[in-house]
Amino acid sequence: MRQAGRSLPEYRELRKGIGMLESCFDPELVCEITMQPIRRHGVDAAILFSDIVVPLKAAGIDLDIVAGVGPVVATPVRDTADVRALPRLRPEEVGAIVEGVRLLTDALGDVPLIGFAGAPFTLASYLVEGGPSKNHERTKAMMYADPKTWHQLLGVLTDITIAFLKAQIDAGVDALQLFDSWAGALSQADYREYVMPHSQRVFAEVADAGIPRIHFGVGTGELLGAMGEAGADVVGVDWRVPLNEAVRRVGPGKALQGNLDPAVLFAGPEAVEAHARRIAAEADEAIVLGATGHIFNLGHGVLPDTDPGVITALVELVHEL
């Protein structure tokens, strides 16, 4: 395997001096950070180190990730004129990410690399709210009061997402994952009317690549059926819905991903093992019910204070199962 050109201590020193977004645009850092879970935990695939707002930043939108807050947009999008002023994403603007993917395809060898992008709705939520939001009130207000502008906005963001994913495909990723982190704030009717057509276009535009497409959201138990219709091959399930119930909602012919609660990793080895075995059994039942497969994963991201040793032990247990 070819390794990036800096030692791990050098990366740590470099990382201290730059922010999260800057890290996402440094090819060697992208490679190193993506590789670390492979080296340390022996997981079966790598997920590209990136952030949901990276393509927006690359396109030229003025935003930053503020510690303790999250993505903050300097000039939120509030009307049609703001939508018209949004820049588009050109391939050369994600050259650093493309180079990071190319470094990774060398370093990973036979280990698959999963590409990454935020879904149009979640991107829109950050742009309209100006940052993270608990209630998404400005986002929903635009949806309900001015659906024409809303769909124009999501059309632009869909174009940006497609361009970002196609750049990763051309660079050699083996699968794609579309994150709709905030879709769980919507009813199924609103999801189908205001969001689903745009996610469908993303999946349709990358279908020719012939690689697996994964769709994931948080708190989306009531949306699993609609998300299963959006065009992905794999539907992510958070910890709120058992996999043997999720397959009934998603329908047959799709694989499932998930769904250990990240908080379980703090509960001790017996609890971790019990929950992992339960999920494996539910996955077996889901496959009998029509799921085409199961990717064991957490139901959301690893919590910051998680003991890395617990993750390693979990990976070993899942491999045994």
Q: Evaluate if residue 1 carries a pLDDT over 60.
A: no
The pLDDT of residue 318 is 97
The pLDDT of residue 139 is 98
Mean pLDDT calculated for residue range 152-171: 98
- In the residue annotation, 51 being an active-site residue is answered as yes
Q: Give the C-alpha separation, 264 to 194, whole Å.
A: 34
Is residue 180, in this structure, part of any structural domain at all? Answer: no
Q: The domain containing residue 203 runs over which residues?
A: 8-31+48-172+188-219
Judge contact between 53 and 63, C-beta under 8 A. Answer: yes
Q: Evaluate if residue 138 carries a pLDDT over 70.
A: yes
Is residue 149, in this structure, part of any structural domain at all? Answer: yes
- In the residue annotation, 2 being an active-site residue is answered as yes
- In the residue annotation, 277 being an active-site residue is answered as no
Residue 161, judged by CB atoms within 10 A of its CB (0-12, 13-18, 19+), counts as: buried
Is residue 16, in this structure, part of any structural domain at all? Answer: yes
Q: Give the C-alpha separation, 256 to 247, whole Å.
A: 8
Angle in degrees, CA 247, 248, 251, rounded to 5: 75
Residues 205-214: tens digit of each pLDDT: 999 999 999 9
How much is the pTM?
Answer: 0.92
State the catalytic residue, choosing from 6, 102, 138, 248: 6
Residues 2-56: tens digit of each pLDDT: 233 444 444 444 444 457 899 999 999 999 999 999 999 999 999 999 999 999 9
Is residue 88, in this structure, part of any structural domain at all? Answer: yes
CATH of residue 152's domain is 3.20.20.210
Mean pLDDT calculated for residue range 235-250: 97
Is residue 212, in this structure, part of any structural domain at all? Answer: yes
Rg (CA), the chain: 19
Is residue 68, in this structure, part of any structural domain at all? Answer: yes
Mean pLDDT calculated for residue range 81-93: 95
The pLDDT of residue 13 is 42
Domain count, the chain: 1
CB-CB neighbours of 96 under 10 Å: 17
State the catalytic residue, choosing from 2, 40, 277, 278: 2
State the catalytic residue, choosing from 126, 233, 238, 249: 126
Is residue 305, in this structure, part of any structural domain at all? Answer: no
Is residue 178, in this structure, part of any structural domain at all? Answer: no
Mean pLDDT (the chain, rounded): 93
State the catalytic residue, choosing from 15, 138, 192, 240: 15
Residue of 107, 97, 118 lying closest to 39 (CA atoms): 107
State the catalytic residue, choosing from 51, 159, 180, 233: 51
- In the residue annotation, 201 being an active-site residue is answered as no
- In the residue annotation, 12 being an active-site residue is answered as no
Residues 274-301: tens digit of each pLDDT: 999 999 999 999 999 999 999 999 999 9
Q: Which residues contact residue 144 at a Cβ distance below 8 angstroms, ignoring those fewer than 6 apart?
A: none
